[in-house]
Structure 1
Amino acid sequence: MKKSQIDSDRLGNKTKLLLKFNYTSSGLSIVFGLFCIFIIDVKGTIPFVFFLYASLNLLNSVAFKYHGSLTAMAIYTSILSWASTMVISLCSGGINSSFIFILAIIVLAGYVSTQLLGKIYMYIVITSIVIIYLIDWLDLNIFPDEVSSGAQDLFSLASILFSVYLLGWIFGKNLLETHHNLYRSKSEIEKRIDEQEMLLREVHHRVKNNLQTVSSLLNLQAKNSDNQQIKELIKGSQNRVLSMAMIHEMLYLRQNLSKIEFKIYVQELTEYLIKSLNDQQHDIDLVLDIPDVQLGIDTAIPLGLLINETVTNSLKYGFVESRKGCITISLKRNEANDTYTLLVSDDGAGFPEHTDYRNTKSLGLKLIHNLARQLHGSVRRIKAAKGTCYSITFKDIEKKLKHIPQPRT
């Protein structure tokens, strides 16, 4: 559901609630006024205020149909309710009047409208109660008590019923309906999320299977060729495909469907490469210095391909003469500019310093630099006493794109 539709529904619910409160409180005020005149023989200010409140509140509801301002109607209703409750409370016992509890309903009505109005009404009501108490304490007698001692119990009973009916029938019922609607919406949203996660998990599973099928086809193609160079080219393509398949497999098997645990992925990928490319059974050690970090799929795929190329180059060309070697991969996060630095190095033979990826025929070297640009970063070769070392600086692409506004559909 779109945000505009949600806001419209919320505004409509508030409008219905306030109109229901106005009509119900006006009707009860008329009944209460008649009760005061004919049952408990109170014919002064109290019934007059009840009838005046009912009339002005009904006019307020009718006026809303013309001006359409919910805030104006809510403020007018609150002021009218507050003034009427103050006068009736002062005329029916002051701080001891049972009708004073209507002030609490005014606060609740304010919070139903907006949080700001609720806070304002709360402070006004607290101040009003203190004023009523001070008037009684100072014995100012601004408003004479119109309810006789014999009618006090009936007036209290009517006041309590008036309060409970408004609180229960209007606000209590609305809060219960709102709670049920929220619970139903929450359940529907959770159900949709579960369905989407299931579908996304299935997508990752199928992508992984398709990539593995492509890898198997490449493997069959390599077996059908007698050309060793072609076999090596196909093997390189096969490893690139499998490096992507591993990511989709990790996303399928784990809870997080958008990020992968990078350290585990690098370990599985490099161990596979060492096992599959180490034809001469060299003693290759693997050293990983990678923190527990999760990267988005848009970052992990090109980064996995980049690691595949650098490790493949090390295994194919770095340890031709040596029977023992070490490949080191480390990752550090630069908090200052929210970037990562990946170091991939070996202690093998290395390659000539004058080699440039722009004029070399090596597809692997070209891919390394192209993938670095895809990660919005850069790659450079660090001079080492022995072997080869690459330093790749990049950003988590998913984090960068998260704040880019999406086009409206």
Structure 2
Amino acid sequence: MSILVQRESVGLAEADHRIGNNLASLSGVIRLQRNTISKSGKPFTTPQVCMLLDDISARIEVMAKLHKSLALTTNGDGVILGDFLREISETISTLGSEGRMDLTVENACHGDIDPRHALHVGLITAELLTNASKYAHPSGLVVKVNVRCETRDNGSFIVEVTDDGVGFPENFDPSTDGGLGFQLMRSLANGLNAELQFEHDSLGVRARLVKPRQIQCQPKN
């Protein structure tokens, strides 16, 4: 077997492994959503069912964009964060109620991140965007959303999603409160060893996902 064929075989095996892992992660998210709905015991209206299906559609789109990004990389070792978030954001902005999001993406983030982190980042970003679309303006006004990111050579990165909505309800603590969406975001951030920060007032919400540099363990003598 030639070296080229061997490399292609290894590359396909690695792609299959990543796809399998990411499908399993997505399945786990959907099962969590299903269990939460089952435990609530509440009937759902047609609009609520449509929103749930939009959520699932958004998560599938995130995984599709991730594997497209991986396929376009020259070495398959990293996902260009800015391009990945731009594609996710533009897709999410078209889901659900038409015309409810005025989206701006600051695509100056040309560094890449570990593919193992990309699905988590994508799902958190999608959740923040869908929340802004649903809740930022209860009156139905168009919500203005800005997405930006930063990457550094040491592996750290920041993703920020800002909206101009009405903010969170009084006494709402995003670090502990909220439904399935907030539980999911907190769990995904913990899986990244990252911090999910929120600033909010009556003029909007700024959410920031902060992934610090990875500290390498020193071998013991």
Relative to the length of structure 1, the TM-score reads: 0.43
1 CA distance for matches of 2:200 and 2:167? 10
User: More helix per residue: 1 or 2?
Assistant: 1
Q: After the TM superposition, which residues 243-258 of structure 1 pair with which residues of structure 2 at under 5 Å, given as runs? A: 243-258=62-77
Structure 1 vs Structure 2: percent identity of aligned residues? 20
Deviations 1:126-175 (A, max 9, x none): xxxxxxxxxxxxxxxxxxxxxxxxxxxxxxxxxxxxxxxxxxxxxxxxxx
By how many angstroms is 1:334 displaced?
5.9
By how many angstroms is 1:274 displaced?
0.7
Q: After the TM superposition, which residues 199-214 of structure 1 pair with which residues of structure 2 at under 5 Å, given as runs? A: 199-201=13-15, 203=16
1 CA distance for matches of 2:116 and 2:77? 9
1 CA distance for matches of 2:114 and 2:200? 31
Match of 1:356 in 2: 173
2 CA distance for matches of 1:230 and 1:282? 19
Match of 1:394 in 2: 211
1 CA distance for matches of 2:54 and 2:188? 19
1 CA distance for matches of 2:113 and 2:19? 21
**Aligned residue type for 1:306:** I
Q: After the TM superposition, which residues 14-25 of structure 1 pair with which residues of structure 2 at under 5 Å, given as runs? A: none
Deviations 1:249-270 (A, max 9, x none): 2223443323111111111111
1:315 aligns with 2:96: no
By how many angstroms is 1:343 displaced?
1.5
RMSD: 3.5
2:76 is paired with a residue whose SS is coil
Contact between 2:58 and 2:126, CA under 8 Å: does it hold in 1?
yes
By how many angstroms is 1:189 displaced?
4.3
Q: After the TM superposition, which residues 87-102 of structure 1 pair with which residues of structure 2 at under 5 Å, given as runs? A: none
**Aligned residue type for 1:319:** H
Match of 1:20 in 2: none
Higher relative contact order (CA 8 A, sep 6+): 2
- Closer, same or farther: CA 206–378 of 1 in aligned 2, 3 Å: closer
Deviations 1:274-332 (A, max 9, x none): 1012x142351323254201111111110001001111100111133353332112223
1:274 to 80, 88, 93: 93
* Structure 2: gaps spanning 5 or more residues: 28-43
- Closer, same or farther: CA 338–295 of 1 in aligned 2, 3 Å: closer
Range with greater deviation from structure 2 (372-381 or 352-361): 352-361
Q: After the TM superposition, which residues 126-137 of structure 1 pair with which residues of structure 2 at under 5 Å, given as runs? A: none
Contact between 2:186 and 2:196, CA under 8 Å: does it hold in 1?
yes
1:366 aligns with 2:180: no
1:197 aligns with 2:14: no
1:305 aligns with 2:107: no
- Closer, same or farther: CA 364–206 of 1 in aligned 2, 3 Å: closer
Contact between 1:291 and 1:331, CA under 8 Å: does it hold in 2?
yes
Q: State the 4+ residue runs in structure 1 displaced beyond 6 angstroms.
A: none
2 CA distance for matches of 1:379 and 1:313? 15
1 CA distance for matches of 2:132 and 2:199? 15
Range with greater deviation from structure 2 (252-261 or 375-384): 252-261
1:257 is paired with a residue whose SS is coil
**Aligned residue type for 2:120:** P
2:127 is paired with a residue whose SS is helix
* Structure 1: gaps spanning 5 or more residues: 1-186, 215-224
Q: How many residues align?
A: 203
Match of 1:148 in 2: none
2 CA distance for matches of 1:255 and 1:191? 17
1 CA distance for matches of 2:18 and 2:191? 25
- Closer, same or farther: CA 280–321 of 1 in aligned 2, 3 Å: farther
2:93 is paired with a residue whose SS is helix
2 CA distance for matches of 1:250 and 1:292? 13
1:343 aligns with 2:160: yes
1 CA distance for matches of 2:2 and 2:98? 58
1 CA distance for matches of 2:151 and 2:68? 26
2 CA distance for matches of 1:243 and 1:194? 26
1:355 is paired with a residue whose SS is coil
2:109 to 291, 294, 311: 291
**Aligned residue type for 1:194:** E
Larger radius of gyration: 1
1:228 aligns with 2:47: yes
Match of 1:326 in 2: 144
1:242 aligns with 2:61: yes
2:186 is paired with a residue whose SS is helix
By how many angstroms is 1:353 displaced?
4.5
Contact between 1:332 and 1:340, CA under 8 Å: does it hold in 2?
yes
1:360 is paired with a residue whose SS is coil
Contact between 2:160 and 2:209, CA under 8 Å: does it hold in 1?
yes
Contact between 2:132 and 2:143, CA under 8 Å: does it hold in 1?
no
